[in-house]
Copies of this chain bind each other. A is one copy, B any other.
Amino acid sequence: MLTSSAAGVFVICPTPFHDDGRLDLGSTDRMVEAFLAAGATGLTILGIMGEAPKLAADEAQSFAKQVISAVAGRVPVIVGVSAAGFAAMSALSRKVMDAGAAGVMIAPPAHLRTDDQIVSYYADAAEAVGRDTPFVIQDYPLVTNVVMTPHVIGRIIEQNSSCVMLKHEDWPGLDKITALRRASDSGQLRRVSILCGNGGLFLPFEMERGADGAMTGYAYPEMLVGVVNLMRQGKRREAHDLFDRHLPLVRYETQPGVGLSVRKYVLQRRGIIASAALRKPAPKLTPETIADIEWLMERIERPHEGA
C-alpha cells in the first residue's frame, strides 16, 4: 500500500494503443519493463496524460490489471480514479484496489471554487474510494481550474488519514512546497509525500524546496531518476547540468494537447511502445513538428563533454 514516505520517481504512464485505437497490452508490458529499468520507484496510470477519459469503464479496468500484473509487486502502482461522479470513482477504485493497486489519485472537478467546496469534495471522495484506500491529491490548476492554498491542502490532509501524497503541479508552485514543508517540519501538519508533476519543468528546484521526487511523464524517464538521485546526493550542479540538457525537450513536451503526441512519438522511436497513436480527439504531428522532435532527440543523445 502507498504510504506517506513514498519517494523517487513515479512515472506517469501513457496508455499504449494500436494504430486503430485498440488497447495495446503487449506494448504495455514492454513499457512497464522500460520504466522500471529506468529506475522508476512507482508507476501511475490512468491520469490525464494516460487518456483515461477516453477509455470505457471496462477498458480502464483491463489496462489497470495488465499494468499491475506486469509490475508484479516490484513497485507500487497508483491509479487515477478522477470521475464526474462518486459512483464511477468508487466502482473503479474498488476494482483496481482489489487487483493490487497501491493507491488512487483524485483531481478535483472544475466547478469547485471556494475553500470549503474543495475540502468537502475530498471528504466525499475519500469516502467514495474507501477510508482504507490511500489516496493522492492532484493539484493541477492549469488543467483543473481549481486553486488550492497550502491551508486547504493542509485541511484535506488533516481530515483524511488516508491522504498520503500530494501530486504537486501548481504553476508557479515552488513557494507552495516550501510552505507545506515548513508546516510539516514544524509539526503543524502531518507530513505526506510530495511528488512533482508538470512535466518535471522545475524538478531540481522542487527537490530543493522539499519535494520527495517526481510523478510525471517524460520520454526519457531515466533523466528524472538521475536528477532526483543527484539532488539527494547533494550534487546540485550535476543535477542541473543533467536537467538542463533535457530541458529543451521537456519544454517541447509541456505544450498542452500536442505534448502527449510528442511523448508517444519519442517512446515509439525509442522502441518502448509499438504505436504513437492517440485516441480521438487528438492532434496529429505535422512533418514540421516531427522534424523539431528529431532535432531535439539528436541534441539530447549526442555525445557531450561531461559524458
Contacts and interface: CB of A to CB of B under 8 A. Distances in A.
A235 interface: no
Interface of A: 51, 53-59, 83-88, 90-91, 110, 113-117, 120-121, 124, 146-149, 151-152, 171-172, 174-175, 178, 201-202, 205, 208-209, 240, 244, 247-248, 251-252, 255-259, 279-281, 283, 286, 288-289, 292, 295, 299, 305
Contacts of A255: 171-172
* Most chain B beta-carbon neighbours within 10 Å: one of A147, A201, A258, A280: A280
Given A121-B281, A172-B255, A288-B175, A54 B85 contact: yes
A4 B200 CA distance: 39
Nearest to A241: B299
Nearest to A110: B110
A292 to B, nearest CB: 6
18 contacts: A54-B87, A56-B87, A87-B279, A113-B113, A114-B148, A115-B115, A117-B147, A121-B281, A172-B255, A172-B259, A174-B289, A175-B288, A201-B251, A202-B251, A209-B288, A240-B248, A244-B244, A247-B248
B57 A172 contact: no
A258 B258 CA distance: 26
Nearest to A89: B56
A111 to B, nearest CB: 10
B171 A124 contact: no
Nearest to A250: B251
A283 B175 CA distance: 11
Given A175-B288, A240-B299, 7 more contacts: A54-B86, A57-B88, A110-B110, A115-B149, A116-B151, A175-B289, A209-B288
A237 to B, nearest CB: 9
A175 to B, nearest CB: 5
A149 B174 CA distance: 28
A127 B202 CA distance: 36
Contacts of A305: 305
Contact of A53 (B53, B85, B251, B279): B85
Contact of A87 (B55, B178, B295): B55
Contacts of A148: 114
Contacts of A88: 53, 55-57
A248 B251 CA distance: 10
Contact of A152 (B84, B114, B147, B299): B114
Return the 4 tightest CB-CB contacts between A and B, nearest first: A53-B84, A172-B255, A54-B85, A113-B147
Contacts of A55: 85, 87-88
A117 B114 CA distance: 11
A279 B56 CA distance: 23
* Most chain B beta-carbon neighbours within 10 Å: one of A58, A87, A202: A87
